[in-house]
Amino acid sequence: MIIKPEITSVTFADFVREKHAPTVMQILPSLDGGGVEQGVIDINAAICRAGGHSIVVSSGGRRVPEIARAGGTHIRLPVHSKNPLVIAANILRLRKIIRNHNVDIVHACSRAPAWSAGRAVQGTMARYVTSVHSAHKIENRFKRLYNSSTTKGELVMTVSHFLAEHVARNYNVDLAKIRVVHRGVALSRFHPNSVTPEQLIKISAQWRVPDGAPVILLPARLSRLKGHMFLIDALRALPQQDYFCLFVGAARGNGAYGRELEKYIEDAGLAGKARIVSHCDDMPAAYMLATVVVAPSLEPEGFGRVAIEAQAMGRPLIATDHGGSQETVIADETGWLVPPGDVPALTAALKEALALDANQRAKLATRAMSHIAQHFTNENMAAGTLDVYAELLNGATTRALPSNDGAPRLSDLSTRAG
């Protein structure tokens, strides 16, 4: 199934030039690390470059200054909260912002904010779009209801065709209102030439990487679903050889899984060959340090930013054969795809990737970098997103508002939703 944005008669830039500079308000829980956050920051900059006005609403975070640097405005609200009372209060707060700033488009980028945003647009002149970034688990009817908030926009954006099918199948969303816009990577930052020898020396010393050892990198938050133990099992099956494995990602909650992972590494006899690093401020350097990058998620990723970043950096990549990776990795051309949880298959791919000679690595890097430059850049993502905004703006002359059935009802929201 291929879902593409409809061709619009007037682009976002045309609308700016011929009518007025639209104001777009993106709403997300916070502005720290993560794919959703990066996407909002990138689109904020794209709106401003195109001549529009950008507002980002979040509960705050370390990346807030990036909004103003690109020309946007950040407004702090507790839109991260799942408390029904806070959500109800946010409806009035958001509606006031929409009216005071003459917001043309409201874009809810996450589930909790969408519960407020879907109601806030009612009674205003704003159009409403939502986006889905993950195939959230549907454990019960309360979880399904909570997840459904991001499927109630006039248009629904997804970051992969996999997610488009998931949304249509599980939330009864008409395919005609779904728009697929893949995420992108900033090639000015994620390119081998962007990393200096000094950066590599610094990060190698910081992480105490043994000199000359091939580096196997798994960059992901510490979550069981990201496949850390799957990779450890594959490493244990590798022939005895000199390698060093880095797990780069922050722990969630009380850190119990991180402690469990440390013990799993020790029990596997890999205590001197694997290390957990909680944070990284220089991911391009981390990728360049890697001999091979592994993205072994056990559950399908909605998109999977690691896959495009690693390929953009020209690194050999091994990912699991499901979800967004099937759309971003060309198997046996730009990387390897292995069945999730299949230890022998992952072990075999690791052996092959580690055995590549310089010529083979160069050819793979060329294919991977060309693939990303053609299909998965920030420019492509920005253009696709602005096309969706333009589609809404072009139909906005009558300002038909979403019906009450187009947004979740607060009375339906249970505090049992996770």
- Whether the pLDDT of residue 7 is over 70: the answer is no
Inform me whether the pLDDT recorded for 5 exceeds 80.
no
Q: For 265-317, how does the pLDDT look when each residue is reduced to its tens digit (9 = 90+)?
A: 999 999 889 999 988 889 999 999 999 999 999 999 999 999 999 999 999 99
Residue 328 binned pLDDT confidence (cut-offs 50, 70, 90)? very high
Domain shared by 365 and 235, yes or no: yes
Q: For the chain, what percent of residues have pLDDT higher than 90? A: 79
With a CB cutoff of 8 Å and minimum separation 6, the contacts of 15 are 22, 390, 393, 394
Is the per-residue pLDDT at 2 higher than 60? no
Q: Give the CATH number, domain containing residue 357.
A: 3.40.50.2000
Regarding whether 224 and 179 lie in a shared domain, the answer is no
**Same structural domain, 216 and 93:** no
Indicate whether 337 and 214 sit together in one domain. Answer: yes
Q: Are residues 344 and 382 in the same domain?
A: no
The count of other CB atoms within 10 Å of the CB of residue 404 is 10
83 and 219: one domain? no
My answer on whether 174 and 275 are in the same domain is no
- Is residue 290 domain-resident? yes
* Residue 416 clears pLDDT 80, i.e. is over it: no
**Mind listing the pLDDT tens digit for each residue in 348-391?**
999 999 999 999 999 999 999 999 999 999 999 999 999 999 99
pLDDT reading at 410 higher than 80: no
Per-residue pLDDT for 76 more than 80? yes
- Digit-coded pLDDT (tens) for 176-229: 999 999 999 999 999 999 999 999 999 999 999 998 899 999 999 899 999 999
Q: What is the pLDDT of residues 87-121, one digit of tens each?
A: 999 999 999 999 999 999 999 999 999 999 999 99
The answer to whether residue 5 is domain-embedded is no
pLDDT of residue 397: 36
Mark whether 62 and 148 lie in a shared domain.
yes
Do 261 and 310 belong to one domain? yes
pLDDT band at 33 (very low <50, low <70, confident <90, very high): confident
Whether residues 208 and 304 fall in one domain: yes
The verdict on 274 and 323 lying in the same domain is yes
Listed in order, strand segments (DSSP E) in 324-412 are 336-338
Please, which pLDDT band fits residue 399 given cuts at 50, 70 and 90? very low
CB 178 within 8 A of CB 156: yes
Is 4 among the domain residues? no
Give the structural domain span for 196.
192-375
Classify residue 137: in a domain, yes or no.
Answer: yes
Does residue 6 have a pLDDT over 70? no
Residue 401 in domain: yes
Position 34 scores a pLDDT of 77
Q: 3-state DSSP call for residue 57?
A: strand
Tokens of 220: 């992901």
Q: What is the pLDDT of residue 286?
A: 96
Buried b (16+ CB within 10 A) or exposed e, 281-318: ebbbbbbbbbbbbbbbbbbbbbbbbbbbbbbbbbbbbb
Residue 411 in domain: no
d(CA 118, CA 112): 11
State the Cα–Cα distance between residues 113 and 85, nearest whole angstrom.
13
H-helix or E-strand spanning residue 66 = helix 65-69
Whether 414 maps to a domain, the answer reads: no
pLDDT of residue 87: 94
Give the pLDDT score at 239. Answer: 78
pLDDT > 90? residue 24: yes
What is the CB neighbour count within 10 angstroms for residue 198? 9
Q: Above 50 in pLDDT, residue 173?
A: yes
Question: Position 149: which residue type?
Answer: S
Identity at 279, one-letter amino acid code: H
pLDDT value at residue 404: 36
407 pLDDT higher than 70: no
SS3 annotation, 23-75: EEEEECCCCCCCHHHHHHHHHHHHHHHCCCEEEEEECCCCCCHHHHHCCCEEE
| 416 found inside a domain | no
Number of domains in the chain: 2
Q: Residue 403 — very low, low, confident or very high, per pLDDT cuts 50/70/90?
A: very low
Neighbouring-strand partners of residue 222: 251
Domain match, 371 and 381 both: no
At residue 255, the pLDDT reads: 83
What DSSP character marks residue 22?
-
pLDDT score of 250:
82
Q: What is the pLDDT of residue 417?
A: 33
- Indicate the pTM of the whole model: 0.86
